[in-house]
Amino acid sequence: MSSENYILILGATGNIGGKIAQELILKNAMIGVAGRSRQKLATFAGKAELLEGDFNEDAFLQQAFFKATSLFLTVPDDALATPAVTAQRLINLIQSSPIRHVVNISNCITEKYGQPTRLVAFEQELNKMGSINLLHLRCANFFENLHWGLHTPYKPDLALPYISSYEVASVAATYLLNRDFSGNSVKELMGPRDYTMAELAAAAGEEYVQLPYTDNNRHFYKGFNDGDFKVTPRTASNTSPLSENRFTLEYFLTHDFVQSVN
Give the Å distances, CA to CA, from 34 to 52, 170, 185, 240: 6, 19, 25, 29
The answer to whether the CB of 154 falls within 8 A of the CB of 222 is no
Tell whether 167 is covered by a domain: yes
The pLDDT averaged over each successive group of 10 residues in the chain (262 residues) is 80 95 97 93 95 95 96 96 96 96 97 96 95 96 94 97 98 98 97 97 97 96 96 97 94 90 54
Round the CA-based radius of gyration of the chain to a whole number and report it.
19
pLDDT, position 130? 84
* HSE-up (13 A, CA, CB side) for residue 33: 28
Tell whether 143 is covered by a domain: yes
Tell whether 253 is covered by a domain: no
Tell whether 92 is covered by a domain: yes
The three-class DSSP label of residue 120 is helix
Tell whether 247 is covered by a domain: no
DSSP string, 38-83: HHHHGGGTTTSEEEE--TT-HHHHHHHHTT-SEEEE---GGGGGSH
The answer to whether the CB of 53 falls within 8 A of the CB of 38 is no
pLDDT, position 3? 52
Q: Which domain holds residue 83?
A: 6-147+163-193+231-240
For the chain, the domain total comes to 1
pLDDT, position 1? 37
pLDDT, position 259? 75
Tell whether 54 is covered by a domain: yes
Tell whether 156 is covered by a domain: no
Q: What is the CATH number of the domain that holds 128?
A: 3.40.50.720
Tell whether 25 is covered by a domain: yes
In the chain, the N- to C-terminal Cα span, in Å, equals 51
